[in-house]
Structure 1
């Protein structure tokens, strides 16, 4: 799949709206985690898989705050790396929903085992490739977004493009070595990055809601 062309009809107002939407999702992530916590502690319980989930939520919120702070300081080269880490949060939380025994999964992760070495209920090793492809069937487009953001966190042509200005003829270009200047991105790229970060968080929140509903049902036996 190829990247979709950027929307040229955007402005700084759209970027601000993107940041506001991201902050709203931060609040939703936090509230959903509180709901899960309350549902369990009211029964004087706190499950270990929920500890795993809360840790992902905490990381997600901090990544969102970092993304906004870096973007507002015009350090987009660093900010866009956080998109890949947010995609990682999605596949880690998704992995929890695929295993037969969540407590065993938690204990193995807590003991330092890599998720890629753990098998799901269908006896498949949960590698990043497997998880991202399986999650794409649930949220179409996730795999492409995962691949594109991987190009940010690993040095790639994305960084070379950001450091290059091409002339109109398309043949000649100027390469920069910036020691004090920041890399300037077009407003349509900035809005696109903010929107994709929002999409990743929206999908993470859906996964978190799925966990919340499963735990509400599970906790009924303690009533």
Structure 2
């Protein structure tokens, strides 16, 4: 089995980790339910579905469609990380429920919770977040990355073609994409587990 396929299988196994994470969070703190339990469950479910989608697309060799899912997975990280920056996470939860955009909410220091601000804040804890945010955002909107995907590196020739597998991502590129998805997916769990620890602390005080 190639390294790429091994990594895809490793990523697929993370689907169960999201389920286990939700169970740990719900059972923490004498099983008392908080607003963050509801939010964490929603994030874990979204993360699981995004992971399943990425795995399916990777196996179909459709990386142009798969790579943007890394940015969506990072969005899960940023959104839940935002709850650690505000004065009242219950109030932020209500803000979410009412359908209000998070970038109109301010943290405890008065800063708007824009994606860029959240990425810069998380960068202080997990170096590389800002670069990942910038790079993966380039795959969400039509950008130079989609044109480069049609350029053969060895001769710099542009191919004009349309199809699910039309791209010039190398095996190394694909391997890096899957590795990055694994790292971001693990980061989702790490960020969510911080709430579990906080919940346990609350229950003891």
1:183 aligns with 2:167: yes
- For 1:202 and 1:22, the matched residues in 2 are separated by 10
Give runs of ≥4 in structure 1 deviating > 6 Å: none
Contact kept, 8 Å, 1:74 with 1:184, in 2: the verdict is: no
- For 2:177 and 2:114, the matched residues in 1 are separated by 26
Structure 1 stretches lacking a partner, 5+ long: 1-11
1:131 is aligned, of 118, 121, 127, to 118
1:161 aligns with 2:148: yes
How far apart are 1:180 and its partner, in Å? 6.5
Contact kept, 8 Å, 2:64 with 2:167, in 1: the verdict is: yes
TM-align CA RMSD: 1.8
Number of residue pairs the alignment of both structures matches? 205
Change (3 A) 1:180 1:205: closer
How far apart are 1:127 and its partner, in Å? 0.8
Give runs of aligned pairs for residues 55-204 of structure 1, distance below 5 A: 55-165=42-152, 168=155, 170=156, 173-179=157-163, 182-204=166-188
Aligned to 1:29: 18
- For 1:33 and 1:58, the matched residues in 2 are separated by 9
Aligned to 2:39: 52
How far apart are 1:125 and its partner, in Å? 1.1
How far apart are 1:24 and its partner, in Å? 3.4
Structure 2 stretches lacking a partner, 5+ long: none
Q: What TM-score comes out, normalization by structure 2 length? A: 0.92
- For 2:181 and 2:123, the matched residues in 1 are separated by 16
Contact kept, 8 Å, 1:164 with 1:176, in 2: the verdict is: no
Larger radius of gyration: 1
- For 1:96 and 1:49, the matched residues in 2 are separated by 9
Aligned to 2:6: 17
How far apart are 1:220 and its partner, in Å? 2.9
How far apart are 1:181 and its partner, in Å? 5.3
